[in-house]
Amino acid sequence: MKRRLLRVLWGLAGVLLVIFGVFFYAWQIEPSLLHTVQYEVKTSHAVPVKIAFFTDTHFGKDDTPDRLARIVEEINAQKPNMVLFGGDFFDSYWRDASQIDVNLIAEKLRAIEAPYKYAVWGNHDIGGGAVRVYEQLMEAGGFTLLKNETAEIGELSVRVVGMDDWMLGEPDNVLRVSDDNYTNIFLTHEPDDAPLFAENGADLILAGHTHGGQIFVPFFGQKFLPPGGRHYVKGQYDIDGVPLVVSCGIGTTKLPARFLNIPEICVLTLSDQ
């Protein structure tokens, strides 16, 4: 009887230890990790182009300048021709404004070494109270903020189409771009409108918003996905022949934890077919 009770107690202790380990990893370790994910994209128009795409940083009161400096360092190590940001720079600016040094953040963003830098709005940038600072911050950091606008880079044969936020912006006027000698990159925060972008001339679609579910629990992943990000969660998809890349992003929201969704920077190399 005693042996059986000891086995039960040891088994229970083992289960509790595993649970503690998972929680410790999800709260203390994985959110602080950062890796790059490489994608090869074949297009019919592109000269060789390397793009660094990052999104969903969700900076807030608990962040230190070192975290952004690490992101900048990782991007610069890739030596990209272009850097794109997919929105949700801040988590809740109205809550954390007094503890955020916007000038220091702009200084760090300026240290990103790329000839072309573009960004779009995310729902947290609008709904979290950053409307009054986000555009100025990105411009001070060397980024052009696109809102249902296009930017053509002739020397790279690339056109960036920046869409407004699907949830809180005005994304209804989907821009149709021509199938000319440019590679048309649609940059959007939420991924679920990807089929619409594919119909309107996209050669490549980049999105974030989902955090990959942020905390992945088998069989329950759908419950952690936000509106606008429930059909395409993370990784690469084929949308009627058009590649869609959904990044699981870098930061966290609601809970300061990640599980099986390591923060990432996507590096895409465009080349001729």
**Mind listing the pLDDT tens digit for each residue in 141-197?**
999 999 999 999 999 999 999 999 999 988 766 778 877 789 999 999 999 999 999
pLDDT on residue 95? 93
Confidence of residue 265 (pLDDT cuts 50, 70, 90): very high
Please state, in angstroms and rounded to a whole number, the distance separating the CA atoms of residues 211 and 5: 43
Return all residues near 76 (Cβ < 8 A) that are at least 6 apart: 111, 112, 113
Q: Pick the residue with more confidence: 63 or 89?
A: 89
Reading the block at residue 1, the tokens are 């009887």
Q: Pick the residue with more confidence: 12 or 157?
A: 157
Mean pLDDT calculated for residue range 62-78: 90
Task: Set out the domains of the chain in order of their start, with CATH numbers.
Answer: 33-272 (3.60.21.10)
Please state, in angstroms and rounded to a whole number, the distance separating the CA atoms of residues 134 and 108: 15
**Backbone phi and psi for residue 112, each to the nearest 5 degrees, phi listed first:** -70, 120
User: How many percent of the chain have pLDDT more than 90?
Assistant: 71
Residue 73 one-letter amino acid: E
Lowest mean pLDDT among 5-14, 42-51, 138-147, 194-203: 5-14
Confidence of residue 228 (pLDDT cuts 50, 70, 90): very high
- 20 pLDDT more than 80: no
Q: By the 8 A CB rule, do 192 and 228 touch?
A: yes
Please state, in angstroms and rounded to a whole number, the distance separating the CA atoms of residues 208 and 247: 5
Q: What is the pTM of this model?
A: 0.93
Kind of pairing between the strands at 158-162 and 242-246? unpaired
Confidence of residue 55 (pLDDT cuts 50, 70, 90): very high
pLDDT on residue 1? 66
- 222 pLDDT more than 60: no
- 221 pLDDT more than 80: no
Model pLDDT for residues 157-172, shown as the tens digit of each residue: 999 999 999 999 887 6
